[in-house]
Amino acid sequence: MTTRTPLADQASEQLLERIRSAEWALGARLPGETTLAPQLGVGRSTVREAIRRLAGRGVLESRHGSGVYVIALDVPEEWDAVVRRADIVTVLEARLAIEVQAAALAAARRTPAELRGLRRALELRAGADDDVEALVDADIALHRAVVAAAHNLVLLGLFDGLTPRVRRAMIEMLRMRPLPRDDDQHAHEALVDAVGDRDPGRATAASRTHLEALAERLA
């Protein structure tokens, strides 16, 4: 026995294909229901339901008194799925974009309490024993403290979204190729010192140098 696809689902897929084909540009207003209904071969109530479904998927937005607008050219993919599929070098490139900017902001915005937290995190990282997982967790905690001190919730959310993928890759890498502990710790000390001195230029350079070296090693 075959199951028929509801008309609203069919209509929403037709609309989505037209959006994907660039019939309407990003930010464009869709034609009204009276225009779309005969084009899609359905009633106006079905058009409204199709629009509601695409709005729920993040493609359309209904604005009261104005109309329906295209806010994405395709259904956004779930963030977790994107990160799981990405290779670790790609993830580190994203970390560069996030953390270099966050380091500069942290140097300008950190509070005395946040600086004390950074220094405690640095000490914990230095004291991590030969347990690879403990070292990676201490490292991530330090980097997260820097991003948190930037006072930008979007950057912090992006960092947290990457953390599970980064953690797995770092543990695998360190088990095969341990980093020179002194050099690596000095790189983190330079970052914390720059944030402590409220020097965005040095903080940016320290973050970039460290992450680029890590990316080269993982590559």
Taking only the tens place, the pLDDT of each residue in 48-87 is 999 999 999 889 999 988 999 999 988 877 777 777 777 8
- Has residue 4 got a pLDDT over 70? no
- Where does the pLDDT of residue 5 fall: very low under 50, low under 70, confident under 90, or very high at 90 and above? low
- Has residue 110 got a pLDDT over 80? yes
* pTM of the complete model: 0.73
At 1 the pLDDT is 39
CA distance 122 to 67: 53
Instruction: Name the phi and psi angles at 60, rounded to 5.
Output: -120, 160
- Has residue 3 got a pLDDT over 70? no
What tens digit of pLDDT does each residue of 134-191 get? 999 999 999 999 999 999 999 999 999 999 888 888 888 888 877 677 678 899 999 9
- Has residue 107 got a pLDDT over 90? yes
DSSP label of 6: P
DSSP label of 64: T
At 174 the pLDDT is 81
What tens digit of pLDDT does each residue of 182-219 get? 678 899 999 999 999 999 999 999 999 999 988 887 76
To the nearest 10°, the Cα dihedral for 183, 184, 189, 192? 150
Delineate the domains of the chain, giving CATH numbers in brackets: 7-70 (1.10.10.10), 79-218 (1.20.120.530)
Least confident residue range of 30-34, 96-100, 123-127, 165-169: 165-169
Buried b (16+ CB within 10 A) or exposed e, 55-66: beeebbbeeeee
At 120 the pLDDT is 96
Compute CA 36 distance to the chain's CA centroid, rounded to the nearest angstrom.
Answer: 36
What kind and span of H or E run contains 66? none
